[in-house]
Every structure is written in C-alpha cells, then in structure tokens.
C-alpha cells in the first residue's frame, strides 16, 4: 500500500465534495488501487468561517506555508480559484516537487502550458480534469483516447447557466429575464451573470479544449464572442419552426489548416445530439477524422461531479507517480488563426425594418452586393411602424458578410437585431 499525503487549498463546494468522497471511498481505493490518501492539511482564507461539523477533525489553517513548506505533503489540490493567489500556490508547489491537481479554469486557460512545462521540468504531475465541463471526463479522453486521431472540430455546451436559461425559455416559453431569475433562484446564476451569459466562462473552457484538441494555447481575444442576452421568444419560435435549437456553443474548427474560434449562440439542427442537451447539463461534441462524431455528456458543475473529476485525477496521478505525464505537454501545432474569408457558415439574421415599400428590395440588394444567397425568409406582421424580418442565408464568409453589415448600419429603415451562425458540420470521412 502506498501512502500519499494531501494538502487542499480551499474548503468550498468542490473541496467539501472531495473530502467526503475521500472519506467514503478510503477502503475502496485501498483495495482497488493499493493507495491510501491521507488528508494532512487544509488551508483556507478565512479561518473564522463556520464549517460543517463533518470537517471538525481536519487540520485547518490560513497559512499557505503549512502545505507548501511541509516536505511530507506529496500532492497539492488547489480549489480556491482565481488567478493571482492560485498561480503562486501552484507554481511554488511545483517548484518544491509536489504534484498538483486543480479545477481552476481561469488560470489554466492562460497559464496551462507554462505550468505544465514547469511540472515536466520538476518531474511532477499537473492535472485539471475538473476545469472543463465539471464531471465529464473530456480532457483525459482528448489526451488519451482521441490523441491518435486528427480532430477537425470541437463544439461544447460548456456553460450550464446559459444552457439552463435557454432551456427554460424554450420549455416554458418565458423571457430571458424570467429565465435568468429562475437560474439565480436555483443558485445556477450569480447576481451579476455576465461571465456566464456573455460567454466569458465558456471562452476559458474553449481555450483549454482548443489546446488539447489542436495543440495551441490561444488568447481569449482571438475568440469571436457573443452572448445570449438578446435572444427572445420570437427567435426561439423562428428557429424551432425551422428545425433548430439555439445553444451557446464554444467552437473550435480547423478549416484548411486555419483555426476558427468562437463562443456564440448557434443554431443546431434538431437531430444533432447537442440539440437535446437540456438545462444545466454540459456536452462536448468532437469531430475526428477517424473517430467520426463523438459526444461526451454530463453534469458541468456541482459538488460531487466536479469533486469526482478531482478524485479521478488523484488516482491517475498515483498510477504513474514516478513518471507522471501531465496533460498535453508534447502537443503543438502550427495552425494559424482563421481570417474573415475563412470563417464560412450559414447565418440566421434578424432585422427590424420600416414597414414601407422598397425595404425588402433594398435589403436584398445589400446581400446581392456580396453574392450571398437566401435559404429562408420570414416577414412578420408589423408592430407599430416596424416589422421583424428573419433571413437564413446559404454559407457565406465573414469577409462577404461584414461589408453588408457595414452598409446596413449606415442605411435608413433597416437594422440588424442580431446574427447567429448555423452549426457547421464537417463532411463525413469516407476515406483516410
């Protein structure tokens, strides 16, 4: 039996779940994996905070040195989140030869590569399965089972809050504001929901996913961003009638050796597995040259699902503790970022136009200018002096569409409410 001493930073939801799992499964892990995990020290920010009685026996301190400077501690688990303090903790732990497990997506999104290199240099492990899509084992699958494949595209519903809001709007025919309120009441959304509904949280996860999938550490500014705030019941009615669901997708696609990155509301055809992902669940759909279309579905957050991902990292780490191979250190590609002419998709565009003769004539002239063809058009009965027009186009590039949008912004009587892409589906692989 091998014994490992563990130090945990933080005692929030995930840490609580982990401590309960390690206690409950102690004998099970001893029998099955021949390891014993000994929880030596917990470090918290606020020592005065009231803790549940089940944590009574723990060594709790507010001094990070109790973990970092204790040579007996083998493995550090960082669960405080945020970028500054967490970064110091992880760097110092790696420097002193401790293995590190974290669930910190914000930090790993930008520093994952650098920290992984440091871990490799120090011959210790660094794992962070819980950082993306909570309980879904997507990083380990990309790193192990899918490493033999050439991935062409990855599409993730990786923000449970926004998926919950969109699902509630769709199921109960309620407004964005009402659905957000429900999400806040259930504890799925914060008082300021910006991080979730504007796609920032999903973008962090996309940075990590893109690194694992395409071997490239990307900047958040290279991701085309869009949020769900402007989506209305009228949109949901349109897309439902036309055979789609709207999902906030984090997407990374390789097209002719160019990498296209976006987090945005996207129209997903109803038959696609991503279309049926409801409420706070997450899913990541991976299109591989060989493996075809795979989807990994499950809870994207929560005390036990997320803690279980940390526990799985722990066990995997100890399986090859002498030569721990951190996630994804040897994989880099020379992909460049897609340019506007490379970013091709069908578009769902919603207009508010003046209700008078010639408006559709003018609108269609703008699109003809860029040689963009329409697939569906809907004009609704006017409300006041204006009317809602919805157009789905055939595939067109941003380079084609951007001048149309510029022209429309200058034109009178026509206004774009919003524009979402339709999911691009890679052609089926018929021959390697």
Q: What is the DSSP letter of 383?
A: B
Q: Would the annotation count 105 as a binding residue?
A: yes
User: Is residue 308 part of the contact set for a copy of itself (CB under 8 A)?
Assistant: yes
Indicate if 205 belongs to the active site.
yes
278 binds a copy of itself (CB under 8 A): yes
In the bound state with a copy of itself, the residue whose beta carbon lies nearer, of 7 and 300, is 300
Q: Is 284 in the site for a copy of itself (CB under 8 A)?
A: no
State yes or no: residue 277 binds a copy of itself (CB under 8 A).
Answer: yes
Nearest distance in Å: CB 20, a copy of itself: 4
Q: Which x/- pattern, by CB under 8 A, does the window 212-231 give for a copy of itself?
A: ---x----------------
CB of 17 to a copy of itself, least distance (A): 7
Q: Does 136 bind a copy of itself (CB under 8 A)?
A: yes
- Is residue 397 helix, strand or coil? strand
Residue placing its CB nearer to a copy of itself in the complex, 294 or 411: 294
Q: Is 331 in the site for a copy of itself (CB under 8 A)?
A: yes
> Residue 26, exposed/middle/buried by CB under 10 A (0-12, 13-18, 19+)?
middle
For position 360 contacting a copy of itself by CB under 8 A, the verdict is: no
Catalytic one of 205, 216, 247, 421: 205
Whole-number minimum distance, CB 409 to a copy of itself, in Å? 40
Pick one of 65, 172, 290, 403: the residue that binds a copy of itself (CB under 8 A): 290
Piece in contact with a copy of itself (CB under 8 A), picked from 62-70, 234-242, 248-256, 319-327: 319-327
Pairwise CA distance, residues 156 & 139, whole Å: 12
Shortest approach of a copy of itself to residue 300 CB, angstroms?
10
Establish if 295 lies at the interface with a copy of itself (CB under 8 A): yes
- CA–CA distance, 171 with 186 (Å, rounded to integer): 17
DSSP 131: G
Of 129, 198, 211, 238, the residue at the interface with a copy of itself (CB under 8 A) is 129
Residue 150 marked ligand-binding: no
Count interface residues toward a copy of itself (CB under 8 A): 61
Query: Is residue 307 a contact point for a copy of itself (CB under 8 A)?
Result: yes
**Between 160-172 and 176-185, two packed helices, what is the crossing angle to 10 degrees?**
120
Q: Is 119 exposed, middle or buried (0-12, 13-18, 19+ CB in 10 A)?
A: buried
Quick check: 299 binds a copy of itself (CB under 8 A)? Answer: yes
What count of Cα atoms within 13 Å lies in the side-chain half-sphere of residue 377?
7
Distance CA 259, CA 368 (A): 28
CA–CA separation, 231 and 238 (whole Å): 11
Residue 330, interface with a copy of itself (CB under 8 A)? yes
Cα separation, 200 vs 189, whole angstroms:
14
Distances (CA, A) of 310 to 41, 127, 128, 161, 195: 17, 8, 7, 22, 23
CA–CA distance, 243 with 229 (Å, rounded to integer): 22
> Token pair of 411, please?
């034109």
Tell me which residue of 129, 116, 139, 132 sits closest to 324, measured CA to CA.
116
E strand residue ranges, 190-317? 224-225, 244-255, 258-269, 281-288, 292-299
Q: Which residues are known catalytic residues?
A: 205
Which residues are at the interface with a copy of itself (CB under 8 A)? 17, 20-21, 24-25, 28-29, 32-34, 129, 135-137, 140-141, 144-150, 215, 271, 273, 275-278, 288-299, 302, 304-305, 307-309, 311-312, 314-316, 319-320, 323, 325, 330-331, 429, 432
Annotated binding site for L-homoserine: 190
Annotated binding site: 105, 190
């Amino acid at each position: 039996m091998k014994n490992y001493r563990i130090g945990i930073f933080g005692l929030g939801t995930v840490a609580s779940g982990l401590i309960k799992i390690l206690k409950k499964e102690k004998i099970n892990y001893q029998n099955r994996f021949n390891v014993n995990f000994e929880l030596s020290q917990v470090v918290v920010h606020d020592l005065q905070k009231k803790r549940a009685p089940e944590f009574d026996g723990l060594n709790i301190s507010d001094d990070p040195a109790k973990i970092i400077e204790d040579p007996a501690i083998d493995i550090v688990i960082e669960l405080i989140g945020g970028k500054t303090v967490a970064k110091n903790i992880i760097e110092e732990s790696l420097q002193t030869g401790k293995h590190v497990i974290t669930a910190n997506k914000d930090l790993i999104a930008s520093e994952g590569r650098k920290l992984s290199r440091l871990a490799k240099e120090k011959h210790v492990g660094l794992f962070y399965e819980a950082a993306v899509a909570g309980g879904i084992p997507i990083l380990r699958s990309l790193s192990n089972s899918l490493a033999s494949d050439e991935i062409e595209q990855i599409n993730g519903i990786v923000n449970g809050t926004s998926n919950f809001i969109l699902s509630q709007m769709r199921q109960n025919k309620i407004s964005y504001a009402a659905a957000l309120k429900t999400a806040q009441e259930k504890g799925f959304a914060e008082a300021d929901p910006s991080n979730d509904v504007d796609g920032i949280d999903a973008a962090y996860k996309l940075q990590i996913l893109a690194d694992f999938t395409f071997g490239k550490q990307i900047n958040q500014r290279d991701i085309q961003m869009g949020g769900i705030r402007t989506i209305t019941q009228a949109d949901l009615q349109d897309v439902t009638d036309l055979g789609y669901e709207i999902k906030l997708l984090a997407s990374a696609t390789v097209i002719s050796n160019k990498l296209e990155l976006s987090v945005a509301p996207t129209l997903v055809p109803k038959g696609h597995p991503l279309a049926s992902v409801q409420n706070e669940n997450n899913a990541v759909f991976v299109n591989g040259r060989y493996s075809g279309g795979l989807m990994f579905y499950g809870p994207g957050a929560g005390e036990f699902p997320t803690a279980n991902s940390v526990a799985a990292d722990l066990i995997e780490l100890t399986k090859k503790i002498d030569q721990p191979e951190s996630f994804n250190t040897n994989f880099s590609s020379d992909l460049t970022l897609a340019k506007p002419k490379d970013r091709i998709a069908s578009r769902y565009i919603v207009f508010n136009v003046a209700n008078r003769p010639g408006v559709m004539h003018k609108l269609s002239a703008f699109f003809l200018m860029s040689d963009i063809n329409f697939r569906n058009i809907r004009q609704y009965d006017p409300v006041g002096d204006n009317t809602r027009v919805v157009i789905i186009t055939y595939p067109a590039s941003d380079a084609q569409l951007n001048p149309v949008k510029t022209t429309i912004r200058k034109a009178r009587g026509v206004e774009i409410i919003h524009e979402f892409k339709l999911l691009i589906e890679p052609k089926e692989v018929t021959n390697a």
